[in-house]
Structure 1
Amino acid sequence: MNGVKSWTVTLVFYFLILAVLIANLDGSSSLYGILPKRGPASPRQPLAHLQHLGVTGGKLLDFFQEHLLELPEHIESSSPRISLYYDAFKNYLYGPGDNARPVNCNPDRSIVAKLTRDVQPIPVHSHNDYWRDLPLFEGIAYGAVSTEADVWLVHSPSLADGVTSEDVILAVGHNEVFLDPVHRTLDQLYTVPLKTMLDQVNCREGHRGGLFYDSPENTLFFYIDFKSEDNVLTYKLLMDNYLKPLADAGYLTYYDLHNNELVWNQVTVVLTGDFPKDLNIVDNGNADRGYYNTGKRHVFQEADILDPTALDTNASVVSTASYSRLLEKCGSSDKEVLSQGQLSSATVKCIRSYIEKSHDAGLKTRIWGAPNWPKNLAVNVWTQQVKELEVDILNVDDLKVASNTF
């Protein structure tokens, strides 16, 4: 009988403890004062004090995505400029206080080091880069050697007719309806971050650093896609307000108009879309001195793979064509490639003949519009472009898959 009572007391005790635990799971209640009521749980903020994780490339992107809900309080409570993810990621890259440049010159603690240490550059173009969660930074983190920004002229709504270049900016986006002329501009998303990164790794005299930690000699192809009708004003704005700081710092690839020599630097600007075709406009009427009157041409017009010599000599460094146009020229089609799962040997031979003409003209090549789905077809065609066609820059939407392929 005593044993039964003992077991009864034990069970009651355990049920009491269980009730207490259940009542306190949310930290908002107590059970008859037996356990004190807990205050609000302190938020975990693993990103609040991070300065140099030591994780780079795709792993760094994965880390931030995994901890996206654990953002520092000062970021959560503020209105995001681009997004909470972008703002938190940039805050980590730039360091405490959002400083654009460290007080002490230390390239090994730079944004470039945080992004690309142990990352190998891959022959990939970050297609529609501005659509990504982390414009510019994401492509570089995966090692993509090419990026792009679609630019539009945006006028202040308060201005009257007859605006000048001082009244407009270049906003970045795919569709004119969804432009953000405050935060998503060419300088905020691209040119200023590029200069900041390059300043940090070129702070020591005599040492030349690029955007890839392990391959500082690699250039980043920077495609500027002209979208607005007034391409002359777009070009003037681009040169005067956005590219000049990069040119003045010596970061832009240029063509030496005096010595007839191409000089590669950290960033190579390629004009695409509805850009000015007249070199007189490109050189600002100074055929011998260039736009900035320095004897250098700092931008390059995109050539056509199907007619690589159509533009003026030395005006281009890259030629481009659409996948569908090349297939049509070679008697093939998207449907045929899809059914075969890859480009046929005859199609490869035909397209390669065009690629070789561009190479003979001293141009690198890029094909856009190749299939992204199904994945096995996309990877097959990517591989054929690089290995069989010898395309120099692979147009890619899924950077993660591409980084695991090459």
Structure 2
Amino acid sequence: MEVSLLSERHPSTPSEYVVTTPFEAYSDSPDHAEMKNANVRMNHVPQHVGPRINTSASLWRQAWALSCFPLSKHSSSSSRADDEEDIPLLEESLPRKKRHGRSRIPRYLVHSLLAFFVMLGLVQFLTLTCGIILSFFPDEYDRAASRWARTTNTATGIDTDTDITQWPTDLSRDIFPVACHSHNDYWRRVPLYSALQAGCTSVEADVWAFDSEDTLYVGHTTASLTAHRTLQSMYIEPLLRILEQQNPITPFQRFISTPSHGVFDTDPEQTLVLLIDFKTDGESTWVSVMKELEPLRERGFLTYFDGNDVIHGPITVVGTGNTPFELVISNSTYRDIFFDAPLNKLVGGDSVEEGVLSFLNFESENAFSDIPDMDSKYNITNSYYASISLNDALGFSGGLRFSKRQMELLRGQVNVAHRLGLRVRYWGLPSWPRSLRNYVWRVLVQEGVDVLNVDDLVGATKGSWRVGIFDWWWWWW
């Protein structure tokens, strides 16, 4: 086998070579078999991809490949074409290296994106871990409320131990009321005071009555009840102490203000709602609640209906749960316990559709101003809140956003309740993820909901409701 150069050109242009290789011509007669030579003309294109290639060595490899795969002996035209395709020529192998290098770029991008998301996941995991750890420590409201256990005697200047219900007037001088409801307030480290320190205008107490005694016990379930956690000790007596200090009799003020000042120095006319959830039988619990409220009633600290008008006081008591509506309205000349009306049944009907949407025409530009005068058994003379679970009201159980239909229902319910003079409260709001919770809070406030039912006092009263940079991942759930 010989390789000869026909013509040599510029180094960057192809050069022509002839490869002479012997082969045995095929013949039917064995006497006529002889060796012949075949000339194969090759064009060599100089290319440099990756490391520099030894041109002469590559040419010899191609010549060797041609000698190993003869094109004429025992082959047809179709098999010869297949053999030619199997020959690893230099001109075909070099571009493949280029293509292989380009195909790796998307893999690098995929790996980079995966690394980015893994890092975000780690950061989010650390954030959640830190949040769980911090949850075991008191928040700023709990710490502030705990400090009220020790006050300074203004006469002697000596620190004295006092009951936790002691609330000097000046400690509320920088607290501004916020329209939020402290859900299950008795769960907090310092019940009542933590909510007041946050500025909440509504607190909740679940009460249990037993036949053997008149005492009302406070707790979420019977397993959480203790002899010392009572409505009297946790709410009635502390509120009485607070209001007496907010309305002192001194040489400078010889008579109690009319109306009496409320718990907030920054807004003395702001009433505090005490939402009492009747957990046991309504009628028996009603008798005990009426008895427990007597100290506040005697001092004129309760909001009441006198048969014609509602006279607002520092404390407004609202009954929910098993509160019997018949007993609420039984006295037509005086009542100081108001009802938590069902928001979905304000104007009749057994569903939100029948109870609200029948009065609305959402195709009209003035849909809400066209609502006719409504006759409802729930009104300002007997009810204060109009409440319902967010899921029962709108069918919202944790989706990403309110749908158009849900927004129509929300606006209709709020408008109907306001036409009746009632304040709207939705319970069962999502608390996690925080970006969803903040979105629900923003929408409810923008649409005129009167009080937010919250568990996170700090987040509701001092935190930002904007979506954080690490809140992206909740969309995956």
TM-score bucket of the superposed structures, by smaller chain? 0.5 to 0.7
Q: 1:300 deviation in Å?
A: 0.2
2:272–2:315: 8 Å Cα contact kept in structure 1? yes
Tell me what 1:17 maps to. none
Tell me what 2:461 maps to. 403
Tell me what 1:351 maps to. 410
Give the structure-2-normalised TM-score. Answer: 0.56
Tell me what 2:238 maps to. 193
Q: 1:237 deviation in Å?
A: 1.0
In structure 2, what is the Cα distance between the partners aligned to 1:263 and 1:100?
A: 30
* Residues 403 and 297 (structure 1), Cα distance of their counterparts in 2 relative to 1, 3 Å cut: same
In structure 1, what is the Cα distance between the partners aligned to 2:444 and 2:300?
A: 33
SS of corresponding position for 1:96: strand
In structure 1, what is the Cα distance between the partners aligned to 2:336 and 2:243?
A: 17
Tell me what 2:193 maps to. 137
Matched, 1:212 2:264: yes
In structure 2, what is the Cα distance between the partners aligned to 1:350 and 1:250?
A: 39
* Residues 101 and 300 (structure 1), Cα distance of their counterparts in 2 relative to 1, 3 Å cut: closer
Matched, 1:315 2:382: yes
SS of corresponding position for 1:187: helix
In structure 1, what is the Cα distance between the partners aligned to 2:452 and 2:303?
A: 21
Matched, 1:235 2:294: no
In structure 2, what is the Cα distance between the partners aligned to 1:60 and 1:174?
A: 22
Q: 1:174 deviation in Å?
A: 0.1
Q: 1:311 deviation in Å?
A: 3.8
In structure 2, what is the Cα distance between the partners aligned to 1:128 and 1:358?
A: 24
In structure 2, what is the Cα distance between the partners aligned to 1:325 and 1:237?
A: 31
1:92-241 paired onto structure 2 within 5 Å? 92=151, 96-98=160-162, 110-114=167-171, 116-154=172-210, 163=212, 167-181=213-227, 183-203=228-248, 204=253, 205=255, 207=257, 208-228=260-280, 230-240=281-291
SS of corresponding position for 2:215: strand
Provide, for residues 335-369 of structure 1, a one-character-per-residue CA deviation record: whole Å limited to 9, x for no partner.
4x2xx3x3234422321111110000010110000
SS of corresponding position for 2:189: coil
Provide, for residues 35-92 of structure 1, a one-character-per-residue CA deviation record: whole Å limited to 9, x for no partner.
xxxxxxxxxxxxxxxxxxxxxxx7564467xxxxxxxxxxxxxxxxxxxxx6x65344
SS of corresponding position for 1:174: coil
In structure 2, what is the Cα distance between the partners aligned to 1:219 and 1:305?
A: 22
Q: 1:231 deviation in Å?
A: 1.7
In structure 1, what is the Cα distance between the partners aligned to 2:178 and 2:164?
A: 27
SS of corresponding position for 1:317: strand
SS of corresponding position for 2:324: coil
Name the amino acid aligned to 1:248: E
SS of corresponding position for 1:302: strand
Structure ranking higher on relative contact order (CA contacts 8 Å, 6+ apart): 1
Name the amino acid aligned to 2:456: D
Pick the aligned partner of 1:299 from 331, 337, 350. Answer: 337
Name the amino acid aligned to 2:170: A
Name the amino acid aligned to 1:398: D
Name the amino acid aligned to 2:269: E
Tell me what 2:109 maps to. none
Provide, for residues 76-112 of structure 1, a one-character-per-residue CA deviation record: whole Å limited to 9, x for no partner.
xxxxxxxxxx6x653449972426999xxxxxxx534
1:101–1:200: 8 Å Cα contact kept in structure 2? no
SS of corresponding position for 2:425: strand
Q: Greater strand percent: which structure? A: 2
Q: 1:199 deviation in Å?
A: 0.5
2:142–2:189: 8 Å Cα contact kept in structure 1? no
Tell me what 1:81 maps to. none
Name the amino acid aligned to 1:299: I
1:142–1:399: 8 Å Cα contact kept in structure 2? yes
Q: 1:376 deviation in Å?
A: 1.0
In structure 2, what is the Cα distance between the partners aligned to 1:390 and 1:220?
A: 20
Matched, 1:282 2:328: yes
SS of corresponding position for 1:192: helix
SS of corresponding position for 1:118: coil
* Residues 246 and 297 (structure 1), Cα distance of their counterparts in 2 relative to 1, 3 Å cut: same
In structure 1, what is the Cα distance between the partners aligned to 2:215 and 2:169?
A: 28
Provide, for residues 298-356 of structure 1, a one-character-per-residue CA deviation record: whole Å limited to 9, x for no partner.
1101111112255454210111010001123xxxx324x2xx3x323442232111111
Matched, 1:263 2:302: no
| CA RMSD of superposed structures (Å) | 2.5
Pick the aligned partner of 1:380 from 439, 444, 459. Answer: 439
SS of corresponding position for 2:344: coil
* Residues 61 and 267 (structure 1), Cα distance of their counterparts in 2 relative to 1, 3 Å cut: same
Name the amino acid aligned to 2:459: V
In structure 2, what is the Cα distance between the partners aligned to 1:206 and 1:273?
A: 35
SS of corresponding position for 2:383: coil
Pick the aligned partner of 2:420 from 361, 376, 382. Answer: 361
Pick the aligned partner of 1:244 from 290, 294, 298. Answer: 294
1:303–1:316: 8 Å Cα contact kept in structure 2? yes
Gaps in structure 2 of 5+ consecutive residues: 1-138, 154-158, 348-375, 465-477
SS of corresponding position for 1:354: helix
SS of corresponding position for 1:306: helix
Q: 1:249 deviation in Å?
A: 0.7
In structure 1, what is the Cα distance between the partners aligned to 2:163 and 2:397?
A: 49
Name the amino acid aligned to 1:325: D
Provide, for residues 129-155 of structure 1, a one-character-per-residue CA deviation record: whole Å limited to 9, x for no partner.
001111100001000110010000146
Matched, 1:326 2:378: no
Provide, for residues 211-247 of structure 1, a one-character-per-residue CA deviation record: whole Å limited to 9, x for no partner.
112111111111000001x22121111111x111101
Name the amino acid aligned to 1:351: L
Larger radius of gyration: 2
* Residues 60 and 150 (structure 1), Cα distance of their counterparts in 2 relative to 1, 3 Å cut: closer
Name the amino acid aligned to 1:362: G
1:100–1:196: 8 Å Cα contact kept in structure 2? no
2:303–2:317: 8 Å Cα contact kept in structure 1? yes
* Residues 127 and 100 (structure 1), Cα distance of their counterparts in 2 relative to 1, 3 Å cut: closer
